[in-house]
A and B are shown apart, each in its own frame.
Chain A
Amino acid sequence: MSVLSFNRWDYLATKVLVGGAVLVTAATAVIAPLIQWLRDEPLHWDLTVAHDAPVPRGVEAQAGVTLSGTDGLRVTLPQADAGPWIASLLPGALLAVAVAVVGWLLLRLLRATEAGQPFTRQTVRSLRVIAITVFVATLAITFAEAVADSVIAGAALLDSVSTVGLTFSIPLVPLAFCVLLTALAEAFARGAVLQDDVEGLV
C-alpha cells in the first residue's frame, strides 16, 4: 500500500479534523468572547492606525539603523457597551458560519469520494458553493472588521477619525483560493459528464 494512498483511517482523520476546525472556530471566535462579555470582562481589540505608532520604550537601534513603530494599537475597554461588543463579535460570527458551511460541504464531498462516487452533480455543487462562501465570507469579514475598528475606536479614542482612519484591504489569498476552487468545480463537472457516459458500461 502506497504511503500516499488515502485509506479509511485517513478519511476518518480528515473528518475529525474538519469537525474539530468548525468547533474550535466557533469556540474561539464566538463563544469565548461572548462569555467574556457576559462576565463583564474587558474588551480587547487590535486597531490598525492610520500612521506609524511610536517605537516602544527601551528599544534602541544600532548606528545607521532607523526604527519606526508598527501600525497597530492594542485597545482594552474595561466596561464596553453593547455596541463595541457586538461589533467585535460580528467578524468572528461570520467566520464561524463560513467555516461551518465549508466544513459541512467538505464532509459531504469526502463521503462521496469515500463511496467511490466523487464525480456527481452534488459534488460539483458543493465545490461551487464552497468557492462562493469563501468569496462572500472574505469580503463580509473584511468589512465587518473595518466596521468593528471604527466602532471600537470611536468608543476608545478621543480622536478616532484621524488616528484610525478607515482601512479596508481585501486579502488576495482567499480570493485566489476561490478561483482555484471554481476551476476545480469545472473539472469535476467534466468528470460528472464522463461518469454519466460510463454509467451502464459493462
Chain B
Amino acid sequence: MPVEEPHRVVCHLDRILAERGLTVTALAERIGVTNVNLSVLKNQRAKAIRFSTLTALCGVLECQPGDLFSVEEL
C-alpha cells in the first residue's frame, strides 16, 4: 500500500487503560507525555508515535506494541 494513502492503524489505549484501571492523566504523568498528546493517541487522532514514547507506554502498561496497535482490514 503506498505511503501516501491514509493509515488504518487503530490504537487500543483506552481498552488497556480500562483493563489496568489507569487514567490518562496518571499514565501521562508516569511516562512524561502531556495529557493532550495521550488524548490524541487515545482518540485515534495521532499520525505517528516516537519509539521513545512507545517504549515508555509499553513499560508502564506492561504490554507489547502489538497489544497497543493493530491495523484494520479494508
Contacts and interface: CB of A to CB of B under 8 A. Distances in A.
B17 interface: no
Contacts of B48: 198, 200-202
A119 B49 CA distance: 21
Interface residues of B, number: 12
Nearest to B11: A202
A198 to B, nearest CB: 8
Nearest to A200: B47
A199 interface: yes
Contacts, number: 22
Interface residues of A, number: 5
A interface, by DSSP: helix, strand, loop or mixed? loop
B37 to A, nearest CB: 5
Nearest to B49: A202
A201 B45 contact: no
Interface of B: 33, 37-38, 40-41, 45-50, 53
Q: Which 6 A-B pairs have the closest CB atoms?
A: A200-B47, A201-B48, A202-B46, A202-B49, A202-B37, A202-B41
9 contacts: A200-B40, A200-B48, A201-B47, A201-B48, A201-B50, A202-B37, A202-B40, A202-B49, A202-B50
